[in-house]
DNA sequence: GTCTATAGTCGGATAGAC
DNA sequence: GTCTATCCGACTATAGAC
């Protein structure tokens, strides 16, 4: 049996479409809060105000609903961030861009990323869904959807950093630097309770996000501000640090 | 009914103790791989070569077994890292320590942290358990055990950074800088599949860990290498970057 | 398209023999 | 202390009425 994956036909049956949408958003929130296995389809349909079997009718089962939820989030992020990423790409192609402008480009993408992962750029439940799936994929198809929408952030930043460090974007040091910058966001997601407690905060509200962005901006500037010294000098510095 | 929480008596019943230990290690691996809810007690006892009801006899139930597993990991990490942390604390009290020495102290703790979270410092299953519980605590008691053993890492680093930045360790900028440095580890845990794919790696083996440590050391040196400029200058720099 | 009723499975916990 | 047998609740999924 083929499931009703497309949109409903022209007649009054776009009530079907509405149910479908309610199911998806309810699914995101419930899966996000409780994870795939701890979520029962009963909870989802209850929250969506739909019938128990509607999930099977519309999607074919619990797992397909999960994948539909992932795609929904991916599309949302894509739409939201397309402009920022496009600006970043344009900047990285701009031969006349100054160091400060390139660094600012990195910061802009960092800010967008914090918006998605920490601030209100995504509803809390959606964010939980995203983080959970990144950390331990429940299924490869859902992971692919979300990875496909996060990847451009990495690629854009690594291109900018490549120009700043005068290295190819595929250079391992460039890639690692990129990862570290995103780590400035992820750290608050991997250990949210611990981080809040360390910082004496209770939530990641606007004030807290602002503090994170300001300090991160400072660090990104430091990390990328100067042309890296030749390898020989770096080695000397490092061994000096060791003693 | 009180459960057999202590160790067995002197007679031959330390077979009990052995079963208990097998249950704990099997629990860590299974909970780590599958999470609390997805793990069935049947799987645990099977892996431990014990009987289904032994969990109830020894611990009182699935949840208490989970807490015992968390404590076991906490003790392991504590024993493993006590020396490194003690050296760090001594360094932060040493008035005559140079900037380079303080930075090297931060790097040493960072290296220890990567050892625990990325390299073989903990068996893979144990690490998964730890990360999972940090990200979303299954219960407050288990979280407390693990938080209590991670916290000293943060405190030790923030004290060192406080000295480097000439600020109090409780200063928010110091705390955030500390968090960012730990983010250089956590990023690989929050998004392991994505990170591996970006970097063209397949696992976090010794070569990869070495690359991470080397580049991180470089960045930590940059982040902490110079005395931060006075606030007015920093503000000027930042607004200059904006335009 | 939506609903009720129910089949079939699995997992945690307990009783009681040994 | 360990084992077998069993209960009970929760969940996904399906059949079939409307």
Domains of chain A: 70-226 (1.10.357.10)
Strand D bases within 7 angstroms of protein beta carbons: 1-5, 10-16
Cβ-Cβ contacts under 8 Å for A104 (sequence gap 6 or more): B241, B242
Mind listing the pLDDT tens digit for each residue in B40-60?
Answer: 999 999 999 999 999 999 999
> Nearest C-alpha of chain B: how many angstroms from A11?
43
Tell me what pLDDT residue A18 has. 84
Q: What is the mean pLDDT of chain A?
A: 88
Mind listing the pLDDT tens digit for each residue in A122-162?
Answer: 999 999 999 999 998 888 899 999 999 999 999 999 999 99
Nucleotide nearest the Cα atom of A11 (by C1'): C1
Tell me what pLDDT residue A162 has. 97
Q: Outline where A94-139 has alpha helix (H).
A: 99-117, 124-135
Minimal CA–CA distance to B107: which of A73, A243, A67, A168? A243
Q: Which residue has the tokens 């410092």?
A: B121
Minimal CA–CA distance to B116: which of B25, B24, B194, B182? B182
Residue B10 banded pLDDT, cuts 50, 70, 90 = very low
Rounded to 5 degrees, φ, ψ at A109 are -70, -40
Q: Which residues of B touch A215 (CB under 8 A)?
A: 172-173, 176-177, 180
CB count in 10 Å sphere of residue B63: 14
Q: Which residues of A touch B200 (CB under 8 A)?
A: 170
Whether CB of A41 is under 7 Å from strand C: the answer is no
Residue B243 banded pLDDT, cuts 50, 70, 90 = very low
In degrees, rounded to 5, the angle at the alpha carbon of residue B21 between the alpha carbons of residues B20 and B22 is: 95
Whole-angstrom distance, CA of residue B27 vs CA of residue B61: 12
Mind listing the pLDDT tens digit for each residue in B188-226?
Answer: 999 999 999 999 999 999 999 999 999 999 999 999 985
> Nearest C-alpha of chain A: how many angstroms from B182?
7
Residue B13 banded pLDDT, cuts 50, 70, 90 = low
In degrees, rounded to 5, the angle at the alpha carbon of residue A104 between the alpha carbons of residues B107 and B174 is: 35
Q: Decide: B113 and B182 in contact? Cβ < 8 Å.
A: yes
Tokens of A241: 């640090």
Mind listing the pLDDT tens digit for each residue in A194-239?
Answer: 999 999 999 999 999 999 999 999 999 999 985 544 444 444 444 4
Tell me what pLDDT residue A15 has. 67
Query: Gap from A2 CA to C2 C1', in Å?
Result: 18
Tokens of A2: 């083929």
Tell me what pLDDT residue A13 has. 61
Cβ-Cβ contacts under 8 Å for B203 (sequence gap 6 or more): B196
- The footprint of strand D (CB < 7 Å) covers A 39-42, 52-53, 55-56, 61-63; B 4, 8-9, 13, 15-16, 19, 50-54, 57-58
Whole-angstrom distance, CA of residue B26 vs CA of residue B28: 6
Minimal CA–CA distance to B213: which of B110, B124, B117? B110
Q: Decide: B114 and B211 in contact? Cβ < 8 Å.
A: no
Record the pTM: 0.88
Q: Decide: B66 and B142 in contact? Cβ < 8 Å.
A: yes
Whole-angstrom distance, CA of residue A174 vs CA of residue A186: 18
Rounded to 5 degrees, φ, ψ at B69 are -65, -45
* A206-224 helix and A172-190 helix, angle to the nearest 10 degrees: 160
Whole-angstrom distance, CA of residue B134 vs CA of residue B152: 15
Question: Please, what sign has the CA dihedral across residues B25, B26, B29, B30?
Answer: negative
Q: Which residues of A touch B219 (CB under 8 A)?
A: 177, 180, 223
Mind listing the pLDDT tens digit for each residue in A78-114?
Answer: 999 999 999 999 999 999 999 999 999 999 999 999 9
Question: Please, what sign has the CA dihedral across residues A177, A181, A184, A190?
Answer: negative
Residues 223-242 of B with CB under 8 A from A: 223, 226, 228, 234, 237-238, 240-242
Residues 163-182 of A with CB under 8 A from B: 170, 172-173, 175-180, 182
Mind listing the pLDDT tens digit for each residue in A53-68?
Answer: 999 899 998 999 999 9
């Amino acid at each position: 049996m083929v499931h009703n994956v497309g949109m409903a036909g022209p007649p009054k049956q776009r009530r079907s479409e509405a149910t479908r949408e309610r199911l998806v958003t309810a699914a995101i929130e419930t899966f996000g809060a409780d994870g795939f296995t701890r979520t029962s389809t009963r909870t989802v349909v209850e929250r969506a105000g739909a019938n128990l079997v509607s999930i099977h009718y519309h999607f074919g089962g619990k797992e397909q609903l999960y994948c539909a939820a992932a795609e929904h989030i991916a599309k949302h992020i894509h739409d939201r961030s397309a402009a920022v990423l496009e600006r970043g790409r344009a900047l990285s192609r701009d031969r006349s861009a100054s160091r400060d402008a390139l660094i600012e480009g990195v910061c802009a993408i960092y800010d967008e990323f914090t918006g998605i992962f920490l601030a209100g750029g995504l509803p809390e439940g959606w964010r939980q869904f995203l983080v959970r799936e990144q950390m331990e994929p429940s299924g490869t198809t859902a992971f692919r959807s979300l990875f496909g929408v996060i990847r451009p952030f990495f690629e854009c930043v690594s291109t900018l950093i490549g120009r700043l460090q005068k290295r190819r974007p595929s250079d391992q040091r460039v890639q690692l630097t990129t990862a570290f910058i995103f780590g400035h966001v992820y750290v608050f997601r991997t250990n949210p309770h611990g981080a809040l407690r360390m910082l004496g905060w209770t939530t990641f509200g606007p004030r807290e996000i602002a503090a994170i962005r300001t300090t991160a901006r400072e660090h990104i500037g430091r990390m990328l501000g100067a042309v890296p010294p030749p390898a020989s000098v770096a080695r000397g510095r490092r061994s000096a640090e060791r003693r």
